[in-house]
Chains A and B, each alone.
Chain A
Amino acid sequence: MIGMDERDKMFEKIVSDLTRHIRINTGFLVWIGFLTVSLIVCLYAYSLQLKHGLGVTGLRDYVSWGLYIATFVFFVATSLIGMLISAVIGLIGMKWVTPITRIAETIAVAFAAVAGLVIIMDMGRPERLAYVFLYGRFQSPILWDVTVVITYFVLSLLLLFLPMIGDMAVIRSKVSTLPKWLKPVYKILSLNWTNAPEQNRIIARCIRILLILIIPAALAIHTVTSWLFAMTVRPGWDSTIFGPYFVTGAFVAGSAAVIIVMFILQKNYKLHDYIYDLHFNNMGKVLALVSLVYLYFNINEFIVPGYKMKEGEAYHLHQLLAGKDAFLFWFVQIGCLVIPILLMLFRRFRKPVPITVISVAVFFGAWLKRYIIVVPTQEHPFLPIQHVPHNFMVYTPTLTEILITLAPFTMVLIIITLISKFFPVIPLCETARERDIENLKIE
């Protein structure tokens, strides 16, 4: 049994460890300044697109969806990790995920929020966005997508916010480095939380309901996103397994993202007492597992049509496996899926540094994979492409288009930076509670 004083001391240490980084320092200003300038450059590129139309991109009549849609799918995919970590693993009762749940939720919120903007970037007439709500037809998978993306974003935001209410009350009363103008913000956000049992009971109940609700919402969001393709008859998209294929692919991208963010925050904010080898090891196992499931779906997705070789599919597969797109295809399948799986089977590759390197490869490969899913199918329509300029036949992204595509990545980095800078990266109250400290003193 630990004495009262000792518990107070432990709590003080937790608070100081987890809130140490909540102050405005030079490093932060330089980083956020860099991101802001990058974003401005990207937004300038977007202003060119607004002015001159989508003609500034490499998109033309045959390949009419390119980098933007691939990035949209990638963002929706990455955001799914919030559900896997907090809901699935958390509800099973595995305590080791507690320190990384907030990282996962932050990623979910950032990517889900920006995914909505990516889709607007792709619109020919973005000023008519409201038409989707004014004249929406529910037969269109786009309407389903809009509905579930908004739902998932709101649920994720609540799942990020609710466990943070107590943390913000603690920060307000205990953190001395806090800039003055921020104090009222935390006061409002902490909703007068005083660690009363009734308050904690309500919050715990809400979180539990959200954790259950977010599972179908997350499955829906990415299944529907896959249906944007699978609901067409085109070779390469006309597949019945696109739903689960996309969902497992999403967990691969998301797990890799969590490992990368975990690594950076652990080093930057000196969180070695809270995020350590165990977490990298376990997340490595999670990534290996979801990658194996994804590999299984990949085998299905290519071997089944490849065995039958129907005319349209045959041409598409030939280009993918041995033709124009073969290098990209095998680079992603071997370099970013098979080799990482093999490496992750060994414990020493699940140490922080190697697993982070592997995750970077997997994360980048996951984006390339979306490109492979979106673009080549459109280069292989049923009827021949004739009497058009060469850039109609082969899609090559332009520099403007690449810059515009970087905008959402910059936005995600800004959101993740701000959330992890101004709030505890690791759930503070929950960590204290798990270490048997119940009576947190809040003034």
Chain B
Amino acid sequence: MEEDHVEKSQDGSEDKKSTSRRDFLKNLGLAGAGALTGAAALYTGHLVESKKEMSGESKVLLTQDGKLVEVDSLEMKVVEKTGVELLQSEGREGIPGRRWVLVVDLAHCRNARMCVLACQEAHQLRPEQYHVNTLQMQDTPGTAPYHMPKHCQHCDNPPCVSVCPVDATYKRQDGIVLIDNIRCIGCRFCMAACPFSARIFQWTEPRDASRYAGMPYNVELNIPQKLGTISKCLFSADRLREGKLPYCVSACPNGVYYFGDENEDAVTNGTTKETVRLSKLLRDNGGYQLMTELGTKPRIYYLPPKNRIFPFESPVENRPEKS
């Protein structure tokens, strides 16, 4: 049929007739389409009307694939992120409006190491794995020795974050530097770059791995720890989200730690629970920071070890070459 029609058209003999037939078909098609559109419009109108009956209002929303859809407000449901997905998005974003800061009063530290134990318990660490370690320091032979708890400094210009090839370690808006062990490839460039030796690596299967197996990974706690990835001090980001002080700060029996928000200019002592002005605390006690000449801009302040309230015990094994 079609072939016939085409041939005839090419002849030119029945041109007029075929043209008129085509026009007719076209018109019919248009009419049909018009009718359909009208019907669709009526139906849509009906739908909108019936929805109005439901709630009286509807909203136009943009879907994930970029379409605009109209949804009745009664039918809208907030989809909450759950599990690892929620922990990851919260953990990457941080707590808005905060600038966390830690003050370590060296005059009070008598190497009780309760902070170390609390931290290792909370973060699934072995006894030789430290997010915080207390070091016996002596700056020069003529100066007095003192104990110094050493955390990750949560630098504002963090060398570890710069060198990470996969964005596994990152700086949050509230000042905390975190490590995501779902992303970490275990290259250990961050360990090489950190001047504070703040980072550890899971060389072997982490402590009690079977006990933590199956737990959803919490990036703010870095648990479960994972073989072949980095771990480090997290400023107890999970506790901060609950409005609590970090594990090490709460565990200290000697009033060494003050933790708080730089924006509020207030820090709270973990032992006495006393809240003081950060600026006044630093001004009155000569607060300082570690290795500022390296330009990493640490977020931890130290108060000098003056008028120490305890005698210094015999030093531990230092670098093997020095002892």
Q: Which residues of A pack against B, CB within 8 Å? A: 52-55, 57, 59-62, 64-65, 122-125, 128-129, 131-132, 134-137, 139-143, 228-229, 231-234, 319, 323-324, 378-390, 392-394
A-B contact count (CB 8 A): 148
Give the top 4 A-B pairs by smallest Cβ distance, nearest first. A124-B186, A124-B228, A55-B204, A55-B203
Does B286 belong to the interface (CB within 8 Å)?
A: no
B317 touches A (CB below 8 Å): yes
Interface of A is mostly: loop
Bound complex: CA of A232 vs CA of B294, how far in Å?
10
> Residue B40 at the A interface, CB < 8 A?
no
9 residue pairs A–B, Cβ–Cβ below 8 Å? A52-B205, A61-B197, A128-B183, A232-B195, A233-B195, A382-B196, A383-B197, A385-B197, A387-B316
From B164, B165, B185, B195, A124 is in contact (CB under 8 Å) with B185
Task: Report which of B128, B165, B195, B227 forms a contact with A389, defined as CB distance below 8 A.
Answer: B128
Give 14 A-B pairs besides A65-B192, A136-B165 with Cβ atoms closer than 8 angstroms. Answer: A52-B204, A53-B205, A54-B228, A55-B204, A60-B203, A61-B201, A122-B188, A124-B184, A125-B228, A128-B166, A131-B166, A234-B195, A386-B318, A388-B128
Q: In the complex, A439 Cα to B128 Cα: how many Å?
A: 74
User: Measured between alpha carbons, how far is A380 from B197 in the docked complex, in Å?
Assistant: 10
If A64-B201, A125-B229, A139-B162 touch, does A383 touch B150 (CB 8 Å cutoff)?
Answer: yes
B321 within 8 A of A: yes
Scan residues 39-55 of chain B and give those whose CB is less than 8 A from a CB of chain A. Answer: none
Interface of B is mostly: loop
Please report the C-alpha to C-alpha distance between residue A404 and residue B91 in the assembled complex, in whole angstroms: 37
Residues of A within 8 A of B162 (CB): 139-140, 231
Q: How far is the CA of A126 from the CA of B291 in the complex (A)?
A: 34
Within the complex, the shortest CB–CB distance from A324 to chain B, in Å, comes to 6
Q: B163 at interface (Cβ–Cβ under 8 A)?
A: yes
Name the CB-closest residue of A to B148.
Answer: A383
Q: What is the interface residue range for chain B against chain A?
A: 35 or more
Q: Which of B128-144 contact A (CB under 8 A)?
A: 128-130, 133-137
Q: Which of B183-226 contact A (CB under 8 A)?
A: 183-189, 191-193, 195-197, 199-205
Residue B167, interface by CB 8 Å: yes
**Roughly how many angstroms separate A385 CA and B319 CA in the complex, as a whole number?**
6
Contact B137 A125 (CB under 8 A): no
Q: Is the CB of B165 within 8 A of A132?
A: yes
Task: Verify if B320 is at the interface (C-beta below 8 Å from A).
Answer: yes
- In this complex, the member of B129, B196, B201 whose beta carbon has the largest number of chain A beta carbons within 10 angstroms is B201
| Also in contact, A140 and B191, with CB within 8 A (given A60-B203, A132-B185, A323-B321) | no
Q: A53-B205, A137-B166, A383-B197 are in contact. Are A390 and B320 (CB under 8 A)?
A: yes
Q: Is the CB of B164 within 8 A of A137?
A: yes
Report how far A140 CA is from B166 CA in the complex, Å. Answer: 8
Among residues 275 to 291 in chain B, which have CB atoms less than 8 Å away from a CB atom of chain A? 291
